[in-house]
């Protein structure tokens, strides 16, 4: 059993008053809140050992380097990567995906095919479209059904010897669907295709084991799991990371430079050009420690209770339609009420101190599938409560009354 009131004390922002009301933060799928432990580490870094890493002989630089590399090892252990150099620090999920997409430019041929799913965030669509433009390869899409689940028989039919890459998110940010990535990875590997899993939405709820999954690339952003913005990671199997060319050129990623020829550093530095987000990387590691101290099994169980409770309450509201009713679902609820524009509902809820997201959630193909401009999205984390859901339901009913 989680002691939620105790946990809430770790998050100073949850004491905020917004528009005269206590904040209810239900926009966790966009970004999670930051516990004091992580805030303290950021303050400590800039107060005590801010220095550039990997290049200094002085003490501060060595302290910063040690803390940064320790964070890499924490992340390696958390995801159960075989080697710490298989963890590349990036600025986030989007950056990680672009790194891989850019690398495949020199590995794909015109006749190759790559597969994405209909449930993707734009950041797991656009870089692959750009890759197709560069290489001439074609993009195929795994369709979804009305519940917001991927149609696996259609996926099976898309796979063939020309399939080189498959990209799918672990959890859909717009609908909360948990995708059967084990199945997708196994089937893709049978035709020799590599798989990249976008873990932006799964990392706050699930502890993935990249070796057990046998996934080729797994990416996420720290800010979705109680860490800071502007930092994330790419896990890649060592063989793949060695095959991919560097993403950006600059300091840190080289072995030797002359005007005739430059050779590249070994992993992970080959992909980490320039001064990284040092403090962010260290804080990412601490965020992972924090999440593990609560326990991912506890988190998943409690958030599932919140999901079921909120779904039940929302379904009682006349005219409310939930989009995304997959059997395997995380604590994200997308909905509309009658013909009311989601933006109007979101604006009125904000006046009552409740933060939800409205719009297409960077997943326009999903909105097109349902033929809607967008949804209201409430997404819960382990620090939310049933009492907050009750307040939200009352506020939502008020908003609906005002707008009908």
Least distance from C-beta 181 to ligand PLP, angstroms? Answer: 13
Least distance from C-beta 121 to ligand PLP, angstroms? Answer: 4
115 is an interface residue for ligand PLP by CB under 6 A: no
Residue 362 designated active-site: yes
CA gap 51, 40 in Å, rounded = 17
List the x/- string, 158-177, binding to ligand PLP by CB under 6 A.
-----------x---x----
Nearest to ligand PLP of 196, 349 (CB atom): 196
Nearest to ligand PLP of 123, 334 (CB atom): 123
Sign of the torsion angle spanned by Cα atoms 157, 144, 209, 194: positive
Sign of the torsion angle spanned by Cα atoms 394, 395, 396, 398: positive
Nearest to ligand PLP of 131, 395 (CB atom): 131
- For residue 106, the 8-state DSSP code is G
The stretch near ligand PLP (CB under 6 A) out of 71-79, 116-124, 248-256, 350-358 is 116-124
Per DSSP, what are the bridge partners of residue 90? 232
Considering only residues 200-219, where is the footprint of ligand PLP by CB under 6 A? 200-201
List the x/- string, 65-94, binding to ligand PLP by CB under 6 A.
---------------------------xxx
Which of 65, 76, 98, 124 binds ligand PLP (CB under 6 A)? It is: 124
| DSSP letters spanning 134-196 | HH--EEEEE-B-TTS-B-HHHHHHH--TTEEEEEEESB-TTT-BBP-HHHHHHHHHHTT-EEE
Least distance from C-beta 130 to ligand PLP, angstroms? Answer: 16
Whether omega for the bond prior to residue 268 falls within 30 degrees of 0, making it cis, is yes
| DSSP letters spanning 242-278 | HHSPPSS-STTSEEEE-SS-EEE--TTGGG--SS--H
Least distance from C-beta 380 to ligand PLP, angstroms? Answer: 15
Query: Which tokens is 133 given?
Result: 């433009």
Per DSSP, what are the bridge partners of residue 18? 21
117 is an interface residue for ligand PLP by CB under 6 A: no
357 is an interface residue for ligand PLP by CB under 6 A: no
| Residue indicated by tokens 């432990």 | 37
The stretch near ligand PLP (CB under 6 A) out of 194-202, 268-276, 280-288, 351-359 is 194-202
Nearest to ligand PLP of 99, 352 (CB atom): 99
Least distance from C-beta 173 to ligand PLP, angstroms? Answer: 3
10 is an interface residue for ligand PLP by CB under 6 A: no
Dihedral Cα 316, 320, 324, 329, nearest 10 deg: -30
Query: Which tokens is 278 given?
Result: 């040092």
221 is an interface residue for ligand PLP by CB under 6 A: yes
CA gap 381, 371 in Å, rounded = 29
Which of 33, 102, 117, 123 binds ligand PLP (CB under 6 A)? It is: 123
375-379 and 332-337 strand pairing: antiparallel
Nearest to ligand PLP of 34, 65 (CB atom): 34
Least distance from C-beta 111 to ligand PLP, angstroms? Answer: 29
The stretch near ligand PLP (CB under 6 A) out of 55-63, 117-125, 263-271, 327-335 is 117-125
Least distance from C-beta 387 to ligand PLP, angstroms? Answer: 27
Nearest to ligand PLP of 54, 224 (CB atom): 224
| DSSP letters spanning 17-72 | EETTEE-EE-BTTT-----HHHHHHHHHIIIII---SSS--SHHHHHHHHHHHHHH
Contact predicate 336/322, CB 8 Å: no
Nearest to ligand PLP of 267, 332 (CB atom): 332
Question: Which residues are CB-contacts of 240 (< 8 A; sequence separation ≥ 6)?
Answer: 194, 216, 217
- Residue ranges binding ligand PLP (CB under 6 A): 92-94, 121, 123-124, 169, 173, 198, 200-201, 221
Residues annotated as catalytic are 362
């Amino acid at each position: 059993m989680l002691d939620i009131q105790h946990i809430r004390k770790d998050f100073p922002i949850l004491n905020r008053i917004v528009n005269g009301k206590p904040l209810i933060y239900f926009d966790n799928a966009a970004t999670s809140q930051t516990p004091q432990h992580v805030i303290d580490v950021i303050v400590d870094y800039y107060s005590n050992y801010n220095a550039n890493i990997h290049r200094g002989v002085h003490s501060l630089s060595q302290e910063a380097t040690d803390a940064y590399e320790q964070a890499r090892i924490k992340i390696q252990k958390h995801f159960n990567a075989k080697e710490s150099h298989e963890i590349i620090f990036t600025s986030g999920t989007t950056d990680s995906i672009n790194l891989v997409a850019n690398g495949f430019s020199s590995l794909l041929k015109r006749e190759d095919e790559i597969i994405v799913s209909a449930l993707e965030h734009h950041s797991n669509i656009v870089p692959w479209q750009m890759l197709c433009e560069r290489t001439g390869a074609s993009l195929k899409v795994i369709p979804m059904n009305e519940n917001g689940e991927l149609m696996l028989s259609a996926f099976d039919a898309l796979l063939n010897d020309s399939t080189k890459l498959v990209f799918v998110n672990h959890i859909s940010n717009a609908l909360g669907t948990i995708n059967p990535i084990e199945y997708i990875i196994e089937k893709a590997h049978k035709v020799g295709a590599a798989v990249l899993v976008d873990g932006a939405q799964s990392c706050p709820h699930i502890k993935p084991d990249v070796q057990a999954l046998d996934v080729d690339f797994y990416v996420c952003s720290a800010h979705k799991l109680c860490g800071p913005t502007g930092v994330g990671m790419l896990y890649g199997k060592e063989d793949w990371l060695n095959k991919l060319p560097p993403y950006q050129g600059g300091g840190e990623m080289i072995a030797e430079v002359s005007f005739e020829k430059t050779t590249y550093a070994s992993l992970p530095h080959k992909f980490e050009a320039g001064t990284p987000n040092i403090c962010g990387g260290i804080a990412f590691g601490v965020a992972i420690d924090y999440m593990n101290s609560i326990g991912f099994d506890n988190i998943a169980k409690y958030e599932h209770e919140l999901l079921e409770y909120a779904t039940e309450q929302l379904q009682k509201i006349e005219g409310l339609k939930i989009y995304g009713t997959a059997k395997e679902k995380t604590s994200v609820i997308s909905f509309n009420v009658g013909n009311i524009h989601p933006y109007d509902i979101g604006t009125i809820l904000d006046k009552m101190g409740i933060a939800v997201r409205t719009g297409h959630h960077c997943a326009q193909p999903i909105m097109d599938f349902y033929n809607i401009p967008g949804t209201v999205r409430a997404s819960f984390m382990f620090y939310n409560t049933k009492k907050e859901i009750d307040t939200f339901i009352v506020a939502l009913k008020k908003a609906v009354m005002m707008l009908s």
